[in-house]
Chains A and B, each alone.
Chain A
């Protein structure tokens, strides 16, 4: 009654459609370049780890991963810590301009990154943050902070108001209540919000590439550079791609039940 006829077939076909291109990438990353160019093979006939070895030993490659992780983690910390109090305020109180503020936040989540690329470049150059992880971390706040507020607001609204009132009657000050009682109660929500901040910062390229040149270049930008300069090093490119998928694939498992609500801005 819940589902449709032939659902197993549909699901299986769709999953194959999703996995096939990823399989092809993984397949490529284990082939030698000679094998990639010369023959069409469905699996690596002479499997090699040379591309992975190169990435892990060449500093210009692995530093990209470190740079990426650096700004992603910075961004997640900033986003969550500013979004927490705001989420509480939106969930509990009515104040002047709250609805407009909420809409303004939403509109920033939707704003195209291409619009901000150039002004960000000027802004961060002017204040001397260009080519540091801070520039990218702050720039990514434009879409991650609103997202974190939306997700956390949903979770804070799930906490009964009586808990706040009881805590205040018991003589808790506001900061103490916030850290000792509220934060532990919505720990799973914070986890989910952190995951989404991590993810959106991890997948974004345009701003990250525009705001860095040498020192803080993210792995995604290093990959595009290799495509245009080295031309045909497909194996290396594939290996670098596989390595960027792994962090996401690992964390998905922990949030699999919250993925939908996170994407729905906490509104499911």
Chain B
């Protein structure tokens, strides 16, 4: 599938370019503009050069301290999320029923949390976790745990993490399930003939085939947990204290709460830059994986007949006999 070179294709892309440029480039230019200035209200601006950026990266200042602390919290949160959700998602995908109406039922229930507005996710966990009216909070306290996510930082963290696992593990599971579905039956039959253990099947067949979707899952989960805002904001409001204040929450506090445009803009730019870099790394890895797959696919026809004819000769031969 070689694509033809055609510069006129730009006309087809132009509408997308204009729409996204309108909502991405214009605002970003405003941000760059603000990030170099200071304001004392009344639309009066003063040139500040790179002052905000210096402050941002210096933990001894107020702004820098807040930014670096929230960044650390956020990175820790993303790591915990990935460490829980990716293995759990794989296990869930492997546990999917094989056929029948249960498949559809499981898929629908799995997808349900993904379609709930984010603030309602927060509300659900608020109602579920409160010690006075929530099932989880009430049960935990009745069992003797002193659980209160409003006043205890560790409880707040556990709540936010469990909430995110509840909200997004399904995504990883669905992606892995789609990857597993694309494995041809013949692979499993070959493994069976070779007497491969279940673990060997997972390691040699299922995991490599899930590679690509897992990469996407990790990318999406990292990005979305890195810019998480609504759910923890609704549940904990960033508290107790600042213990669950992530970068987005800090940013909105500075930008829309204090209207401190210069600081907020500088923070936005650094934040965006981090995302852009991670995004670029993933994109490169992804396109490289795609290219490798293409090479593999091209060489596959030569390799393919061997395993299929060697491992399951009967079904492979039958249609030929019928044709002859």
The residues of A with any CB-CB pair to B shorter than 8 Å are: 1-5, 7-8, 10-11, 14-15, 17-22, 24-25, 28, 36-37, 40, 42, 78, 81-83, 85-86, 88-90, 92-96, 98, 101, 103-108, 110-123, 138-139, 141-142, 145-146, 149, 157, 161, 199, 202-206, 210, 220, 223-224, 227, 234, 237-238, 241, 244-245, 248-249, 251-253, 256-257, 259-261, 263-265, 267-268
Contacts and interface: CB of A to CB of B under 8 A. Distances in A.
B4 A93 contact: yes
Nearest to B112: A249
Interface residues of B, number: 104
Contacts of B255: 114, 117-118
Interface stretch (B5-13, B61-69, B77-85, B145-153): B5-13
A119 B92 contact: no
B16 A20 contact: no
Given A4-B91, A89-B13, A107-B275, 13 more contacts: A1-B192, A1-B201, A7-B97, A11-B96, A89-B9, A96-B10, A107-B280, A108-B20, A141-B20, A227-B123, A238-B123, A249-B112, A259-B114
A5 B91 CA distance: 10
A89 B134 contact: no
Contacts, number: 304
A115 B115 contact: no
A120 B111 contact: no
A244 B117 contact: yes
Given A18-B110, A263-B174, A120 B23 contact: yes
Chain A interface mostly: helix
B6 A256 contact: no
Interface of B: 1, 3-10, 12-13, 15-17, 19-20, 22-24, 26-28, 30-31, 91-92, 94-98, 104, 106-120, 123-125, 127-128, 132-136, 138, 166, 169-171, 174-175, 177-180, 182, 188, 191-192, 198, 201, 212-213, 216-217, 220, 223, 226-227, 229-230, 234, 247-249, 251-252, 255-256, 261, 264-265, 268, 271-272, 275-276, 279-280, 283, 286
